[in-house]
Amino acid sequence: MTADKRGMHGIWSSRWTFILAATGSAVGLGNIWKFPYIAGENGGGAFVLVYLLCILTAGIPIMMAEVLLGRKARMSPIHTMERLTATAKAPRMFAGIGWMGAVAGFCILSFYSVIAGWTVYYTVKMATGTFTGISGENAGAVFSDLLADPQSLMLYHTIFMVLVGVVIARGVHRGLENAVRIMMPLLFIMLILLLGYSLTTPGFSQGFNFLFSFDFSKLSQESVVVALGHAFFTLSLGMGAIMAYGAYMPADASLGKTVLAVGILDTIVALAAGLVIFPIVFTNGLEPGAGPGLMFQTLPIAFGGLPGGVLIGTTFFVLVVIAAWSSAISIAEPAVAWCVEKGVGRGRSTFIVCALAWFLGIGTVFSFNDWSNNQFFVHVTPTVAEQADATSVQLPEAEWFAYADVSELERLYPPTESVNFQITGKTFFDVLDFLTANILLPLGGVLISLFGGWFLSRRSVADEARVNNTAIFEIWRFMIRFVSPAAVLFVFIHGIL
Ligand code: PFF
Ligand code: NA
């Protein structure tokens, strides 16, 4: 393994390219698909505020730490953490960050590719005019028909994974730089155009208020965990993706401004997506808590009603596909880079990683149809039926099952005159999503901040960061040592208990 100053995988051509690539990694389905739907499920306003706080107190400082660690060792996250842990004489557990990240990466890539497949499908539907003049109801039907059809889901999942593999096999900087350079500005233009449309809809102020009026009574403990987890997911943190990209960052580029730019861009795109989607939701009487289908049920209505909607809509979905593509590449890169360092060729490494993630993705494909009743962590919660008198009803005990067939449970717990049974669980997809975003990424993030804050000397960190402004450096170091780990651990421990 030869890791000279340039590393064995190459170097971005400039600081600007690193910004593009890191933005390409950060901006993706997390912003356009996931952020609006989880904001909708968690009641909007207060959730958005907590999410923004998490970005500021944990996301940005930890992102700086990840880039810094990557650039220090210039290797894949697994080898970077093994090497830095050894030289810093830190506990062995920190070497596990890279491994945990690789596991998280496989899980994320597996479902990310399935969802990205939906956007490929929607590109085709857009281009062929399916949505012209469509009603909210029919747009919903197009989406549920897709979910009900595992064969289509498999096809588009496969297409997307092949797209990802092709770019990775060519090497990240050659494959990625050009795609991102054209795509990012275009995506911004499209979002501004869509914002213009949503401003003209009667539901705009309601959508705006949903996102930005902070009603803390709607905020549950789980919502806070989800907000924190999403801060990591959306910035690609906690699993080594940004660390891997940091390893290709030019040695003389200053870290603070660069990372800040990426964080701000990512946040703007998420908020813009929310501001586009929620006005459409309220204008058309749709459900903000509709779940993973939210963007797929709303945006086609907007495009269907716009003059030139076929062209605009097709362009938009192409851009979402490219945004998802550039993110997916970064999810796979840590594992591929590790295989390459182990002496496996880049093409073969790519094939192994993508094939494994593709296989795991089958579980997500079936989560939306054949296996939708096969759920984990199923809770049966008895509630007093609406027509019953709450004071006279004796509720049975709540129960939970590690695994259950939900349709079976519904038969076993029919509603009675006085009691309803609320049955909630997680599908295979839900489990992967929860495990990665809400557990593995924050855990990885906390370990990274502890390592960067407590096991690397101030000298070595300051040298690597190449900060010109000592005040900013001091603030960052304080954040990474105290604030970020405290914030993550606080949310984490509360959420688990
Ligand atoms: N940040 C990406 C998004 O918001 O879509 C998703 C992602 C990329 C998560 C890379 C994790 C990762 F390592
Ligand atoms: Na993101």
How close is the Cα of 232 to the center of ligand 1, in Å? Answer: 8
Position 7 confidence tier, pLDDT thresholds 50, 70, 90: low
Hey, whose CA ends up nearest to atom 11 of ligand 1? Answer: 236
- Identity of residue 36: P
Residues 71 and 242 sit within 8 Å (Cβ to Cβ): no
CA distances to 36, 183, 304, 332, 412 from 301, rounded to whole Å, are: 16, 24, 5, 34, 40
Taking the chain, what is the end-to-end CA distance rounded to the nearest angstrom? Answer: 44
- pLDDT tens digits, residue range 315-352? 889 989 989 999 999 999 889 989 999 999 999 999 99
How close is the Cα of 15 to the center of ligand 2, in Å? Answer: 20
The answer to whether the Cα torsion of 68, 73, 76, 77 is positive or negative is negative
Nearest-5° angle of CA 403, CA 405, CA 406? 105
pLDDT at 109 exceeding the cut of 80: yes
Hey, whose CA ends up nearest to atom 9 of ligand 1? Answer: 236
- Alpha carbons 168 and 176: distance in angstroms, whole number: 8
- Alpha carbons 110 and 205: distance in angstroms, whole number: 37
DSSP 395: P
Residue 212 in tokens: 């930005």
54 vs 21, residue with greater confidence? 54
Position 2 confidence tier, pLDDT thresholds 50, 70, 90: very low
Position 306 confidence tier, pLDDT thresholds 50, 70, 90: confident
How close is the Cα of 236 to the center of ligand 2, in Å? Answer: 7
| Ligand 1 site residues, Cβ closer than 6 angstroms | 25-26, 28-31, 108, 233-234, 236, 239, 241, 327, 330-331
How close is the Cα of 394 to the center of ligand 2, in Å? Answer: 47
Q: Which residue has the tokens 């009803």?
A: 393
- Alpha carbons 357 and 117: distance in angstroms, whole number: 14
- pLDDT tens digits, residue range 137-176? 899 999 999 999 999 999 999 999 999 999 888 876 676 6
Backbone angles phi, psi at 384, to 5 degrees: -70, 130
pLDDT at 351: 97
Furthest C-alpha separation in the chain: 76
Nearest ligand by distance to the CA of 266? 2
Q: Which residues lie closer than 8 Å to 359 by C-beta, 6 or more apart?
A: 110
Nearest-5° angle of CA 359, CA 362, CA 367? 155
Nearest ligand by distance to the CA of 33? 1
pLDDT at 185: 82
Residue 393 in tokens: 């009803």
Position 434 confidence tier, pLDDT thresholds 50, 70, 90: very high
pLDDT at 172: 63
Position 212 confidence tier, pLDDT thresholds 50, 70, 90: very high
| Spans of all domains in the chain | 15-371+439-455, 374-425
pLDDT at 249: 86
CA distances to 75, 143, 346, 397 from 442, rounded to whole Å, are: 22, 32, 30, 33
- Identity of residue 322: I
- pLDDT tens digits, residue range 73-102? 999 999 999 999 999 999 999 999 999 999
pLDDT mean across residues, the chain: 91
Full DSSP string of 396-456: PPPEEEEEEEHHHHHHHS---SSEEEEEEEE-HHHHHHIIIIIIIHHHHHHHHHHIIIIIS
CA distances to 10, 100, 329 from 337, rounded to whole Å, are: 11, 15, 12
Mean pLDDT value of segment 443-448: 96
Residues 384 and 355 sit within 8 Å (Cβ to Cβ): no
Residue 167, classed as helix, strand or coil, is: helix
301 vs 374, residue with greater confidence? 374
CA atoms within 13 A on the CB side of 151: 0
pLDDT at 452 exceeding the cut of 70: yes
Give the 3-state DSSP-derived string for 319-385, with helices as H, strands as E and coil as C.
HHHHHHHHHHHHHHHHHHHHHHHCCCCHHHHHHHHHHHHHHHHHHHHHHCCCCCCEEEEEEEEEEEC
How close is the Cα of 267 to the center of ligand 1, in Å? Answer: 13
pLDDT at 463: 84
Position 117 confidence tier, pLDDT thresholds 50, 70, 90: very high
Residue 216, judged by CB atoms within 10 A of its CB (0-12, 13-18, 19+), counts as: exposed
pLDDT at 4: 44
Hey, whose CA ends up nearest to atom 12 of ligand 1? Answer: 236
- pLDDT tens digits, residue range 170-198? 876 676 677 677 777 888 888 888 899 89
| b (16+ CB within 10 A) / e for 30-58 | bbbbbbbbbbbbbbbbbbbbbbbbbbbbb
pLDDT at 1: 37
Mutate to test the pocket of ligand 1, among 27, 108, 243 (most ligand atoms within 8 A of CB): 108
Backbone angles phi, psi at 115, to 5 degrees: -65, -40
The answer to whether the Cα torsion of 333, 336, 340, 342 is positive or negative is positive
pLDDT at 112 exceeding the cut of 50: yes
- Identity of residue 124: V
pLDDT at 5 exceeding the cut of 70: no
Mean pLDDT value of segment 463-468: 77
Q: What ipTM does this complex have?
A: 0.99
Mutate to test the pocket of ligand 1, among 119, 233, 322 (most ligand atoms within 8 A of CB): 233
pLDDT at 3: 41
- Alpha carbons 48 and 286: distance in angstroms, whole number: 20
CATH no. for 15-371+439-455? 1.10.4160.10
Residue 99 in tokens: 């491994």
For 229, the enclosing helix (H) or strand (E) is helix 221-234
Residue 215 in tokens: 């009603």
pTM of the model: 0.94
pLDDT at 305 exceeding the cut of 90: no
Mean pLDDT value of segment 19-47: 94
Residue 11 in tokens: 């170097």
Mutate to test the pocket of ligand 1, among 35, 327, 441 (most ligand atoms within 8 A of CB): 327
Could you tell me if residue 401 is left (phi over 0), alpha (psi between -120 and 50 degrees) or otherwise beta? Answer: beta
How close is the Cα of 335 to the center of ligand 1, in Å? Answer: 15
- pLDDT tens digits, residue range 366-389? 999 999 999 999 999 999 998 888
